[in-house]
Amino acid sequence: MRSITFKKALLTIAILLLVVFTVQNAGKEKELNAVEGFLRDSLAPVYQLLNFTGQKVKDWVSYPTALLEASRQNEQLREKVSRLEANVRQEEEIRQENKRLKRLLNWQQNEGQLYDSVAASIIARHPDNWFGTVVVNKGREDGLKPNMTVVAPTGLVGRIINASAKTSEVLLITDPRSGVGALIQKTRAPGILEGIASGSIYLRMNHIPANIMVTEGQTVVTSGQGSLYSKGIAIGAVVNVDKVTSGLFKVATIKPFVDFNRLEEVLVIK
In order along its 270 residues, the chain shows pLDDT tens digits of: 555 565 566 566 666 665 555 555 544 555 655 655 565 666 666 656 655 555 655 555 565 676 677 777 777 777 777 777 666 666 665 666 666 667 666 766 666 566 788 989 999 998 778 889 999 999 999 999 999 999 998 999 999 999 999 999 999 999 999 899 999 999 999 999 999 877 789 999 999 998 899 999 999 999 988 768 888 999 999 999 987 656 788 999 999 999 999 899 999 998
Please give the tally of structural domains in the chain: 3
- On whether both 186 and 247 belong to a single domain, the answer is yes
**Cβ 184 vs Cβ 208: under 8 Å:** yes
**Cβ 139 vs Cβ 163: under 8 Å:** yes
- On whether both 185 and 257 belong to a single domain, the answer is yes
- On whether both 249 and 222 belong to a single domain, the answer is yes
Which residues are paired to 151 by β-bridges?
156, 267
Taking the CA atoms of 212, 246, 191 and 239 in sequence, report the sign of the dihedral they define: negative
Q: Minimal CA–CA distance to 193: which of 153, 214, 221, 231?
A: 221
For residue 248, the model assigns a pLDDT of 86
Which of the listed residues 78, 111, 144 is the one where a domain comes to its end?
111
For residue 189, the model assigns a pLDDT of 93
For residue 128, the model assigns a pLDDT of 77
Question: Quick check: is 100 in a domain?
Answer: yes
In terms of residue numbers, what domain contains 72? 42-111
- On whether both 192 and 256 belong to a single domain, the answer is yes
For residue 145, the model assigns a pLDDT of 95
Rounded Cα–Cα distance for residues 20 and 236 (Å): 101
Q: Between 34-42 and 44-109, two packed helices, what is the crossing angle to 10 degrees?
A: 60
